[in-house]
């Protein structure tokens, strides 16, 4: 069963990658604004120190408990999702329904963001919270169909077996491209990152996070990077052949592939403007959802005729 | 569960550390930010959820997903029959989505 | 204890800028300075370390400033900027103040809570518990707050009432929430206040107000008059509006580059033809996502002034054209548009008048984008009073 060391290693890796993602994000911002690039590497530390020292605050009449649980729930969900991320040969706990577990943890973000936004008792927070629900309703179904397509292809809901099913043949990213793209979009969806950050958008002065200060803000913003990282890490066994790769040992390939997915997402976050929710909802339901259903059908047929 | 323990422990360390180094233990109670003007009323109000129809269509699909996870595991054994059944069912749901789209459910404001 | 002092040395401060009408030059200086330092602007007081007020002797803004200052959690510092010369030094001082543990602790102890004012903290409230660095701000106006209405009842927290219901366009009875945009809001036109009645996130009612106006001078008009190359100033003004628009749209990196370009244009730096800016213009212009996400918002017909016609997307692309004109044709400077200033003023006046009708029925995000796509320069309004009075609904001179 689980050894605490495995858990610690996994969580430290998660933290390390998240830190790198936050740094890279600051780096891109500094590059855009012509500020000093070298400062980016220490920026998350400095921000962390700032928030640790800062006074906590609440809005009068707000639901403190709700907001605080919400902001702590975000990192908690991300860390719990690490449970099924395969590390080397095995995940911390290779659940037979790993895919479902991952899905469940990621949906906790809905609750967390809504709780923080509503609990803030500020119009910005309330608008942001409801925007996130609308976003969730839009990305979640294509996301689930993408996961199911992968599971059909591997005939398993166990993450390691999904990775193993791609050994010696084409990676799922190539055999099911629509599912892969939708999965990448939905990572940005549930970590409200880049084009999908409308729930904490600048037009609503930070939305759900607008009234957070101090350690609550640290947990919330940190949790967001953790979610982005754990989503990227799961893309590797799902779509990128797990630890398959030449020369280097398997764990090295896992880390390299995770870093690559994460880098792409961070870059996209800076390269693309946000998408307004009412426009995304339509595209998501009318393009992404049918695309993933057709993808699932295609993969089921491949499975039946024995190509997978 | 060890991982849950680790996660909770980490969060406790974070909050504990913060309470150790924080500049003040008073929690600042203040008005909500309103661009520098006083707040007129509490923000927690009955929010007009204009996408509630999407939520309903979503719930329909979500129920279906619950069946789909076990279905995944038996596709290989049961063969073509289960695939046809599942996707015929999905086709019905997609028809509902298309109808909803024509009714303008996915556009709001 | 010690660890706090160590940690306090690390942070990159977040600043919140309150700019009074007539202080555009200072605002630009502050933005340039923070950008160069790699500092970040806070979106709300809750996440602010340094509150920077530029200009603003008007009592109205003093009230707002005080309101915001009370919402800033400790550690916090306050800076009142009156001239760009001392700005860097003042920011350095503020950063130093954010490291003084003893003073910060004392400030935190005295930090006035909302409850204190509601329940029995009144003599303290009126007694001037100003923090040393607050200067002599007028505290009179905020004692009796707006929410102490007839409807005030004692059992609601803070004496603030809940939202009342009203019927909406779909015939539903829904809560009506009053939200004010401006005067102190990030990425918001200086001096503009828009008061909204929201149901959910749909704008039900809107009214605009221009505060502290007219002021005697307008930064952009004066810059144009003084400049050897007015086209560059036009481009800089366009870049300023565009960076703000992109920022409201949430495209942070593009907004930052726009800001950098604006500063370079204003400084007449030769680097404005740098490939990065050419690349930036291409990226913004070719972004399908931006077009798809924004087009169709705030459509204005042919009865509006020329500079305002079209939708939010076409207005933002016109700014891009203005910038491109300055960057590409910087050797062969053609004749600058002589009516630029008066058009700007006309546009600002028209926007203040038309905004309510454009905002009503919009979703909140759409509303913010519409305002940002006009970016009315209210400081130019005095131009209309000074020069021969043009008809308010003039069709763009």
Percentage of chain C with pLDDT > 90? 18
Do the Cβ atoms of B33 and C202 come within 8 Å?
no
pLDDT at position C51 is: 92
Question: Per residue in C13-53, pLDDT tens?
Answer: 999 998 888 888 889 999 999 988 889 899 999 999 999 98
Question: Per residue in B19-65, pLDDT tens?
Answer: 888 888 888 888 888 888 888 788 777 777 778 888 888 888 888 88
Among B14, B54, B79, beta carbon nearest to A281: B54
pLDDT at position C123 is: 34
Asked if C38 is an interface residue toward chain A (Cβ–Cβ < 8 A), one would say: yes
Reported as a pLDDT band with limits 50, 70 and 90, residue A224 is: very high
ipTM comes to 0.89
Asked if A268 is an interface residue toward chain B (Cβ–Cβ < 8 A), one would say: no
pLDDT at position C65 is: 86
pLDDT at position C31 is: 92
Asked if C14 is an interface residue toward chain A (Cβ–Cβ < 8 A), one would say: yes
Using DSSP's 3-state secondary structure scheme, residue C39 falls into coil
Bigger pLDDT: C182 vs C180: C180
Identity of the highest mean pLDDT range in A247-251, C111-115, C164-168: A247-251
Cβ contacts below 8 Å, chain A against chain B, sum to 195
pLDDT at C384 over 50: yes
pLDDT at position C145 is: 40
Among C75, C108, C200, beta carbon nearest to B26: C108
Do the Cβ atoms of C162 and B45 come within 8 Å?
yes
Q: Looking at beta carbons, which residues of chain A come within 8 Å of C75?
A: 53-55
Beta bridge partners of C16: C51
Among B63, B61, C201, B58, smallest CA distance to A136 is for B58
Cα–Cα distance, A16 to A45 (Å, whole number): 12
Cα–Cα distance, A81 to A65 (Å, whole number): 24
10 Å CB burial of residue C274 (0-12, 13-18, 19+) is middle
Cα–Cα distance, C213 to C378 (Å, whole number): 8
Please name the residues in contact with A229: beta carbons below 8 A apart, sequence gap of 6 or more.
A14, A17, A18, A21, A78, A258, A262
Among A42, A206, A274, beta carbon nearest to C43: A206
Bigger pLDDT: A83 vs A45: A45
> Which residue stretches of A95-176 are H helix?
98-119, 123-154, 159-165, 172-175
Q: Looking at beta carbons, which residues of chain C come within 8 Å of B48?
A: 168, 172, 174, 199-202
pLDDT at position C132 is: 36
pLDDT at position C127 is: 33
**Least reliable range by pLDDT among A151-160, C19-28, C79-88, C134-143:** C134-143
Among C372, C379, C352, smallest CA distance to C55 is for C379
Among C158, C200, C362, beta carbon nearest to B48: C200
Do the Cβ atoms of C287 and A29 come within 8 Å?
no
**Least reliable range by pLDDT among B77-91, C3-17, C156-170:** C156-170
- The DSSP symbol for C23 reads -
Question: Per residue in A167-212, pLDDT tens?
Answer: 878 888 888 899 999 999 999 999 999 889 888 888 888 888 888 9
Cα–Cα distance, B39 to B31 (Å, whole number): 7
Cα–Cα distance, C77 to C96 (Å, whole number): 9
Domains in chain C and their CATH numbers? 7-112 (3.40.50), 210-389 (no CATH)
What values do phi and psi take at B4, rounded to 5? -60, -40
Identify whether the C-beta of residue C164 lies closer than 8 Å to the C-beta of residue C176.
yes
pLDDT at position C142 is: 38
pLDDT at C144 over 80: no
Q: Looking at beta carbons, which residues of chain C come within 8 Å of B39?
A: 147, 160
pLDDT at position C317 is: 92
Give me the mean pLDDT over the A274-303 stretch: 88
Give me the mean pLDDT over the A146-173 stretch: 86
Cβ contacts below 8 Å, chain A against chain C, sum to 155
C residues 139-198 near B, CB within 8 Å? Answer: 142, 145-147, 156-158, 160-165, 168, 172, 174-175, 177-185, 188, 193
For residue A96, give how far its alpha carbon lies from the nearest alpha carbon of chain B (Å): 11
Reported as a pLDDT band with limits 50, 70 and 90, residue C133 is: very low
pLDDT at C394 over 50: no
Asked if C110 is an interface residue toward chain B (Cβ–Cβ < 8 A), one would say: no
**Least reliable range by pLDDT among A48-52, C28-32, C171-175, C211-215:** C211-215
pLDDT at position C214 is: 59
Chain B contact partners (≥3 CB pairs within 8 A): A, C
pLDDT at position B72 is: 85
Asked if B20 is an interface residue toward chain C (Cβ–Cβ < 8 A), one would say: yes
Q: Looking at beta carbons, which residues of chain B come within 8 Å of A126?
A: 43-45, 47
Question: Per residue in C284-332, pLDDT tens?
Answer: 999 988 898 888 888 888 887 877 888 889 999 999 988 888 777 655 4
Task: State how far the alpha carbon of C93 is from the alpha carbons of A34, A49, A121, in Å.
Answer: 24, 20, 34
pLDDT at position C297 is: 86
Asked if C36 is an interface residue toward chain A (Cβ–Cβ < 8 A), one would say: yes
Q: Looking at beta carbons, which residues of chain B come within 8 Å of A297?
A: 83, 87
pLDDT at B109 over 70: no
Residue matched to tokens 């990226």: C283
Reported as a pLDDT band with limits 50, 70 and 90, residue C139 is: very low
Average pLDDT over chain A, rounded to an integer: 87
Do the Cβ atoms of A53 and C11 come within 8 Å?
yes
Identify whether the C-beta of residue A115 lies closer than 8 Å to the C-beta of residue A216.
no
- The DSSP symbol for C86 reads G
Give me the mean pLDDT over the A243-267 stretch: 87
pLDDT at position C146 is: 39
pLDDT at position A115 is: 92
10 Å CB burial of residue C209 (0-12, 13-18, 19+) is middle
Q: Looking at beta carbons, which residues of chain A come within 8 Å of C249?
A: 203, 273-274
pLDDT at position C368 is: 92
pLDDT at position A283 is: 87
Q: Looking at beta carbons, which residues of chain C come within 8 Å of A216?
A: none
pLDDT at position A18 is: 93
Give me the mean pLDDT over the C127-139 stretch: 36
Among B18, B32, B101, beta carbon nearest to A286: B101
pLDDT at C155 over 70: no
Asked if B14 is an interface residue toward chain A (Cβ–Cβ < 8 A), one would say: yes
For residue C396, give how far its alpha carbon lies from the nearest alpha carbon of chain A (Å): 29
Give me the mean pLDDT over the B58-78 stretch: 84
Radius of gyration (Cα) for chain B, nearest Å?
25
Count CA atoms closer than 13 A to A171's CA, side-chain side: 16
Reported as a pLDDT band with limits 50, 70 and 90, residue A16 is: very high
pLDDT at position C336 is: 66
pLDDT at position C346 is: 85
pLDDT at position C121 is: 35
Identity of the highest mean pLDDT range in A82-91, C104-113, C353-362: C353-362
Q: How many CB atoms lie within 10 A of CB A282?
A: 17
Asked if A104 is an interface residue toward chain B (Cβ–Cβ < 8 A), one would say: no
Do the Cβ atoms of C183 and B108 come within 8 Å?
no
């Amino acid at each position: 069963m689980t050894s605490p060391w495995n858990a610690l290693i996994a969580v430290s890796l998660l933290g390390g990658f998240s830190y790198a993602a936050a740094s890279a994000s600051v780096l891109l911002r500094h590059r855009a604004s012509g500020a000093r690039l070298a400062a980016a590497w220490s920026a998350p530390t400095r921000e962390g120190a700032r928030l640790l020292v800062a006074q906590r605050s609440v809005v009068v009449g707000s639901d403190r408990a709700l907001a605080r649980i919400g902001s702590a729930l975000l990192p908690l969900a991300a860390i719990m999702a690490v449970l099924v991320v395969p590390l080397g040969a095995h995940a911390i706990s290779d659940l037979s329904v790993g895919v479902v577990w991952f899905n469940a943890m990621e949906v906790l973000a809905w609750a967390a963001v809504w709780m923080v936004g509503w609990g803030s008792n500020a119009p910005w927070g309330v608008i942001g919270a409801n925007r996130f629900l609308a976003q969730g309703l839009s990305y979640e179904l294509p996301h689930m169909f993408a996961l199911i397509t992968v599971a059909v292809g591997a005939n398993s809901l166990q993450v390691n077996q999904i990775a193993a099913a791609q050994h010696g043949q084409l990676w799922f990213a190539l055999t099911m491209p629509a599912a892969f793209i939708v999965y990448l979009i939905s990572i940005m969806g549930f970590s409200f990152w880049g084009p999908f950050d409308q729930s904490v958008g600048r037009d609503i002065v930070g939305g759900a996070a607008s009234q957070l200060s101090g350690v609550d803000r640290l947990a919330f913003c940190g949790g967001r990077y953790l979610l982005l990282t754990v989503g990227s890490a799961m893309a590797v066994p799902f779509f990128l052949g797990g630890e398959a790769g030449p020369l280097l040992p398997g764990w090295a390939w896992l880390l390299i592939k995770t870093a690559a997915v994460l880098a792409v997402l961070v870059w996209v976050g800076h390269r693309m403007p946000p998408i307004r929710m009412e426009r995304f909802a339509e595209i998501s339901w009318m393009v992404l959802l049918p695309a993933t259903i057709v993808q699932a059908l295609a993969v089921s047929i491949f499975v039946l005729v024995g190509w997978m | 569960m060890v991982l849950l323990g680790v996660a909770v422990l980490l969060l406790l360390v974070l909050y504990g550390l913060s309470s150790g180094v924080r500049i003040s233990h008073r929690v600042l109670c203040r008005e909500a930010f309103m661009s520098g003007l006083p707040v007129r009323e509490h923000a927690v109000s009955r929010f007009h959820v204009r996408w509630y129809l999407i939520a309903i269509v979503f719930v329909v699909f979500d129920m279906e997903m619950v069946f789909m996870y076990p279905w995944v595991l038996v596709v290989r054994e049961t063969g073509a029959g289960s695939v046809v059944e599942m996707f015929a069912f999905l086709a019905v749901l997609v028809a509902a989505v298309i109808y909803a789209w024509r009714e303008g459910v996915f556009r709001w404001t | 204890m010690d660890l706090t002092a160590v940690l306090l040395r690390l942070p990159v401060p977040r600043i919140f800028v309150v700019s009074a009408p007539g202080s555009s030059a200072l605002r630009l200086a502050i933005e340039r300075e923070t950008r160069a330092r790699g500092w970040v602007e806070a979106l709300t007081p809750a996440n602010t370390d340094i509150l920077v007020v530029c200009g603003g002797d008007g009592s109205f803004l003093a009230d707002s400033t005080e309101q915001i200052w009370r919402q800033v959690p400790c550690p916090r510092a306050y800076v009142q900027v009156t001239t760009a010369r001392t700005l860097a030094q003042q920011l350095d001082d503020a950063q130093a103040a954010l490291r003084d543990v003893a003073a910060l602790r004392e400030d935190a102890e005295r930090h006035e809570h909302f409850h204190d004012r509601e329940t029995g903290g009144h003599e303290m409230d009126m007694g001037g518990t100003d923090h040393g660095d607050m200067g002599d701000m007028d505290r009179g106006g905020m004692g009796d707050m707006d929410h102490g209405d007839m409807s005030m009842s004692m059992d609601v927290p803070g004496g603030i009432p809940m939202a009342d219901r009203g019927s909406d366009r779909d015939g539903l009875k829904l809560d009506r929430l009053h939200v004010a945009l401006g005067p102190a809001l990030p990425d918001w036109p200086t001096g503009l206040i828009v008061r909204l009645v929201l149901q959910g996130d749909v704008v039900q009612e809107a009214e605009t107000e221009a505060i502290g106006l007219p002021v005697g001078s307008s930064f952009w008009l004066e810059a144009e008059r003084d400049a050897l190359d007015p086209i560059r100033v036009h481009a800089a003004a366009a870049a300023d509006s565009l960076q703000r628009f992109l920022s409201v749209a949430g495209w942070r990196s593009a907004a930052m580059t726009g800001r950098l370009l604006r500063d370079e244009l204003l400084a007449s730096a030769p680097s404005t033809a740098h490939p990065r800016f050419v690349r930036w213009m291409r990226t913004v212009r070719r972004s399908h996502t931006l077009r798809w996400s924004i087009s169709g918002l705030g459509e204005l017909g042919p009865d509006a002034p020329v500079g305002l016609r079209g939708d939010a997307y076409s207005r933002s692309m016109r700014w891009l054209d203005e910038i491109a004109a300055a960057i590409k044709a910087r050797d062969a400077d053609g004749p600058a548009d002589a009516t630029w200033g008066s058009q700007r003023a006309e546009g600002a006046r028209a926007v203040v008048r038309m905004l309510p009708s454009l905002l009503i029925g919009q979703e909140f995000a759409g509303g913010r984008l519409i305002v940002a796509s006009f970016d009315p320069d209210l400081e130019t309004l005095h131009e209309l009073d000074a020069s021969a009075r043009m008809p308010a609904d003039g069709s763009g001179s």
